[in-house]
Amino acid sequence: MAYFSNATEILLYEETYCWKCKNFRDLKDGRGNRCPIWDLHLTYSYELANSKSKAKKMLDFLIPYKNCEPKQCSMFLKK
């Protein structure tokens, strides 16, 4: 599960991956362009950081974190 220490790191990740992904799109809910994977991660990553739950394992799979940096989302589809 990726760790972002501040908003700048979040924006850099979005710019590097999310904004270039087909899954980052208008979800028609009034929030603009979003991704369900990204929303889940930002909503639950802090809560599950020290957990051994299945939910954390899913977040670990979706956005891996290796060598102290978040890696490409496993659902990334280049536009």
Cα 67 from Cα 33, distance rounded (Å) = 29
Does the residue 28 lie in any domain? yes
Does the residue 21 lie in any domain? yes
Does the residue 78 lie in any domain? no
Q: Taking Cα atoms as reference points, which of 32, 50, 41 lies closest to residue 13?
A: 41
Does the residue 42 lie in any domain? yes
Does the residue 50 lie in any domain? yes
DSSP state of 78: B
Does the residue 13 lie in any domain? yes
pLDDT in tens, the chain (79 residues): 888 888 999 999 999 999 999 988 887 777 777 888 888 888 888 888 888 889 889 989 999 999 989 999 999 999 9
Domain count, the chain: 1
Does the residue 25 lie in any domain? yes
What's the CA angle centered on 6, arms 47 and 52, to 5 degrees? Answer: 25
pTM equals: 0.80
Domain that holds residue 12: 7-70
Cα 71 from Cα 63, distance rounded (Å) = 6
